Chain A
Amino acid sequence: MPVPILKQGPHLIASVQSALGDSDLVELRDALIAQVGRYRSRGVIIDVTALDVMDSFASRTLGDIAHMARLRGAETVIVGVQPEVAFAMVQLGLTLEGVATALDLEEGLAFLQQRASRTGPHRHPSSA
């Protein structure tokens, strides 16, 4: 089942609604990366609250999305990792290193807004 992507101002919000197959994840990656360009988005939120399993493929694909989006000028934050899922991920050695995370959608939006106000709308952080 494809993941719906919502455009919310300068951000894209992808809400995972159900169990994801590998092809759904790859589709989500391609759709998000395309839409970052189409809508000139500065931030991407992926809400995984409804995801009951985060295995190595899911984790790697979410990491890929975050890094690809960054290369396209958008910051990604993963929100809603459930406690049991976090436990299983740590057991598996999946830490989503280098990827921003936040507790929930609200915290994720706050994180992106904070980041945007710090770096300004068109200034690269390294030129500040």
Chain B
Amino acid sequence: MGSKTSSVQAPENGQPLDEIRIAIRSDSDLVAARQEGRRMAERLGFGGGDRTLIATAISELARNILRYADHGEVVLLHANHGPREGMTVVAQDKGPGIKDLERALEVGYSTSGGLGLGLPGVRRLMDVFNVRSSSGDGTVVSATKWKR
């Protein structure tokens, strides 16, 4: 799980990176990840409504990891792109990957008996959404919420 995310930049003042990594192996990790996410969103100055959207997105992404890849990692990052500031959630695993990415992004499509709301739902909860997956080589989902 050591893959680096390109948006991570070393701060110039030597402060620790605002980056939290949470290993996802069980459903208690899932609860921990969304609580960490909520705390970080609060620290970054997000309002209550957005904190809940972010925590919900983390919950869906972490559950996908458990369901499809058994284990993986959620990385929470302070997103800073010029004048825009926000929070990025990266969910990565080395699982089997998503066979049909286009369909996985359709509401109601699920290969696990779920509701099929996970990925399309996260896309709606967040402002920026990217998913990279290849069969046999795991999945990386990245979702950013900008501060209003």
Provide the bound-state CA to CA distance between A85 and B38, in Å: 13
Partner of A56, one of B31, B38, B114: B114
Residues of B contacting A118 in the complex (Cβ-Cβ under 8 angstroms): none
Q: Which residues of chain B from 37 to 54 have a CB within 8 Å of any chain A CB?
A: 38, 48-49, 51-53
CB distance A55 to B60 under 8 Å?
yes
**A39 located at the interface, meaning its Cβ lies under 8 Å from any Cβ of chain B in the complex:** no
Stretch at the interface among A30-38, A66-74, A89-97, A103-111: A89-97
Interface of A is mostly: helix
Number of A interface residues in the complex (CB < 8 A): 23
Question: Is B78 in contact with chain A by the CB < 8 A criterion?
Answer: no
**B104 on the A face (CB < 8 A):** no
CB proximity to A under 8 Å, residues B97-122: 107, 114-115, 117-118, 120-121
B contacts with A, residue count (CB < 8 A)? 26
B52 and A56 form a contact (CB under 8 A): no
Q: Is the CB of A53 within 8 A of B49?
A: no
A21 vs B35: C-alpha distance when bound (angstroms): 12
Partner of A53, one of B48, B52, B107: B52
**Inter-subunit contact B48/A55 (CB<8 Å):** no
Q: Smallest CB–CB gap between B30 and chain A, Å?
A: 7
Residues 18-36 (chain B) with a chain A CB within 8 angstroms: 27-28, 30-31, 34-35
Minimal beta-carbon separation of A98 from chain B (angstroms): 14
Distance in angstroms between the alpha carbons of A85 and B50 in the assembled complex = 10
Is A84 a contact partner of B49 (Cβ separation < 8 A)? yes
Residue of B nearest to A63 (CB): B115
With A21-B28, A22-B63 as contacts: A93 and B121 at CB distance below 8 Å? yes
**Assembled-state Cα–Cα distance A54/B48 (Å):** 15
Rounded to whole angstroms, the CA-CA distance of A59 and B82 in the bound complex is 38
Question: Residue of B at shortest CB range from A89?
Answer: B56
Contact surface of B with A, Cβ cutoff 8 Å = 27-28, 30-31, 34-35, 38, 48-49, 51-53, 55-56, 59-60, 63, 107, 114-115, 117-118, 120-121, 124-125
